[in-house]
Amino acid sequence: MRKNTLKPDNRSDNVEKLQDMVMNTKDNMEAAEELMAYNSGEEREAIRQKNARREKSLEGFQIGIIDDTQDKTT
């Protein structure tokens, strides 16, 4: 029987991953905005709500980038 071993916590590329997530989220928001022109009221509202959630995610990503950048410099 094989034992499960934990992988070491490697956050060396965390800022880069977070920056990629920011760019992908912004791209998704822009695509969603473009789709709103082709959708009805309920669908538009769903897109607005999803983009609002994405905005909150972006805020969290930015905080994570700042935190990880500060951790690297201290």
The parent domain of residue 53 ranges over 14-73
Structural domain includes residue 9: no
Structural domain includes residue 22: yes
Domains: count for the chain = 1
Distance CA 58, CA 29 (A): 11
Structural domain includes residue 5: no
What pLDDT score does 72 carry?
A: 73
| Residue 21 identity (one-letter amino acid) | M
DSSP state of 4: P
- CB-based contact 15:69 (threshold 8 Å): yes
Q: By C-alpha distance, which of 67, 65, 52 is closest to 23?
A: 65
Structural domain includes residue 19: yes
Structural domain includes residue 4: no
Distance CA 54, CA 22 (A): 10
What pLDDT score does 48 carry?
A: 97
Mind listing the pLDDT tens digit of every residue in the chain (74 residues)? 667 788 777 778 999 999 999 999 999 999 999 999 999 999 999 999 999 999 999 999 999 999 998 877 77
